[in-house]
Amino acid sequence: MSKNIRPVFIILICLLLSGCWDHLELETLDFVLGLGVDAVEPDFDIITELVKVKGGAQETEFEPVVLTTKGRTFFTSGRSLTKPAGIRMRWAHAQVFIVSEEAARENMLAAIELIMRDPDVRTSILLMVAKDCTVHEIFTSKPPITDFVSDHLRNLVELRDRIPFFYSRKLWEFRQTLALSGINGVLPTVQLVQEGEDKVPVLDGSAVFKGCQMVGWLTGPESRVFAMLMGERDRGPLVVKTEVGGERGGRLRTKSGGATRSKLLHSSKARALVFRCAAAAGGFA
């Protein structure tokens, strides 16, 4: 082969061999913003909130679509969703994962295992527990500002330091708690409140776990104190009634913007393990 033909031959080979071995078109994908589980036995009852894109260019609109499916595993359920949706699911953009009270009390690990093992779901997804309602009712509710329930709940978590009445946890944080000995998990609870003719999802209170099973609830104020003991930042006013020398004093409000310093002290006297909490926080009357 002559020296003049060789470069041309190499260029032709490069042109013929270039290209993608695989590709995904946006038109063939549907993005999942939130998902949840209403039941784990005998089958997984999975609810998803999808983004439906309408129009194009300057007139693009986004609408929420809620779909429900059943399956023995997360993979089979995802495959089943393709039938009613008529399009492929994309799980990487999911922001929240909600578990019903029934599923959380039965076996929380079984409920979240389906997303722990799926490589498409990010470990930064927010975990929540539904209280006095189903996951399907939450995703079909009407947030006041945004059209998507998942966006609404994520925004509430980002504002936690100003409305600190729940204890937020991500998947990797809760999974780490389950792996540790002597520490039990706490997750925020989602409730529906009536606002006019619509029901609005709010985060108020927390679900308490013992191992892999939910055992009870914390109210909003109790969740706030718990979060402060865990060292989380609290910007809202905390009003505490005081009593000095048998006389009722005024009220104390904590300074905003600072984290509470706390210390747990334990005693094993009288064959009983007793914990005392010493907390320090700046405040003003």
DSSP states along 230-260 = TT-EE-S--EEEEEETTEEEEEEEEPTTEEP
Task: Write out the H or E segment, with its range, that includes residue 129.
Answer: strand 126-130
Give tens-digit pLDDT for 254-272: 554 455 555 555 555 555 5
Cα 262 to Cα 113, 165, 188, 259: the distances in Å are 33, 18, 21, 9
| For residue 26, pLDDT beyond 90 | no
Q: According to the model, what pLDDT value does residue 280 have? A: 59
Residue 275 scores a pLDDT above 60: no
Above 80 in pLDDT, residue 94? yes
Mean pLDDT in the chain? Answer: 78
Residue 182 banded pLDDT, cuts 50, 70, 90: confident
Q: Phi and psi dihedrals of 121, rounded to 5?
A: -90, 130
Q: What is the pLDDT of residues 193-247, one digit of tens each?
A: 998 888 999 999 999 999 889 999 999 988 988 887 787 776 666 666 666 666 6
* Dist. CA 73–CA 239, nearest whole Å: 48
Residue 134 is predicted with a pLDDT of: 94
Say what angle helices 171-179 and 101-116 make with each other, to 10 degrees: 100
CA atoms within 13 A on the CB side of 150: 24
The larger pLDDT score, comparing residue 11 to residue 205, is at: 205
Question: Of the spans 5-9, 41-45, 53-57, 143-147, which averages the highest pLDDT?
Answer: 143-147
State yes or no: pLDDT of 248 exceeds 80: no
What residue type is assigned to position 182 of the chain?
Answer: G
Q: Which of 4-18, 101-115, 168-182, 193-207 bottoms out in mean pLDDT, i.e. has the lowest? A: 4-18
Using CA atoms of 83, 84, 88, 93 in order, give the dihedral in degrees to the nearest 10. Answer: -140
Q: Which of 241, 190, 196 has the alpha carbon at shortest distance from 220?
A: 190
Q: What is the maximal distance between C-alpha atoms in the chain?
A: 106
Q: What is the per-residue pLDDT for 229? A: 79
- Nearest alpha-carbon partner for 264 in 231, 217, 220, 223: 231
Residue 98 pLDDT: 96
How distant, in Å, are the alpha carbons of 30, 67, 138 from that of 87? 6, 12, 24
Whether residue 186 is predicted with pLDDT greater than 90 in this model: the reply is yes
Answer with the residue of higher pLDDT: 142 or 81: 142
Task: Give the DSSP H or E segment for 8.
Answer: helix 5-17
Which band of pLDDT confidence, cut at 50, 70 and 90, is reported for residue 107?
Answer: confident
pLDDT, mean of residues 110-138: 88
Q: Could you tell me the pLDDT band of residue 82, with boundaries at 50, 70 and 90?
A: low
How many angstroms separate the Cα of 115 from the Cα of each of 97, 105, 125, 174? 9, 18, 9, 13
- The yes-or-no verdict on residue 177 having pLDDT over 80 is yes
